[in-house]
Amino acid sequence: MAISEGEKIPAVTVKNTDMSDVTTDELFGGKKVVLFAVPGAFTPTCSNQHLPGYVENADALKAKGVDEIICLSVNDAFVMGAWGEDRGTGDKIRMVADGNGDLTKALGLEMDGSGIGFGLRCQRFAAIIDDGTVTKLAVEAPGKFEVSAADAILAAL
């Protein structure tokens, strides 16, 4: 069952792009965070729309009280680092690797992409998280890109 608004983010360890461990407590505790997740780095919608929208709107999101913007994908830390560099995320977006899908599974937001050679992946979603509690959750319908876009989350703040 997927996490719901009003629930705390589960305690899980994922990876920064330098391969260091980072806990969900460290990522979300004591601050307001926008987390957006994508099915895969370097995939068309993720690379051409989803991530660039957050890069372009980072200053506007932070002006609304967001302390950090995090991009999550079930990819390894090296891929997430290369993707962030390729897309010019700089210090605007923190790229986080959920290589084993541990956080994705704990959130109940996994999808089976084996039909297209992806294996276990994360559904496309965005969340506003305040001190570890989900205050807004926007999960996309399969094949859609609407409710998790940066402008939709900006409007929800």
Instruction: Kindly tell me the burial class for residue 92, based on how many C-beta atoms sit within 10 Å of its own C-beta (0-12, 13-18, 19 or more).
Output: middle
Residues of the chain short of pLDDT 50, as ranges, are none
Pairing of strands 133-139, 125-130: antiparallel
Which pLDDT tens digit goes with each residue over 11-54?
Answer: 999 999 999 999 999 999 999 999 999 998 998 788 788 999 99
Whether 46 is catalytic = yes
Q: Choosing from 34, 46, 61, 134, which is the catalytic residue?
A: 46
Q: Report, at the CATH architecture level, how domain 13-156 is classified.
A: 3-Layer(aba) Sandwich (3.40)
Mean predicted lDDT score pLDDT of the chain = 95
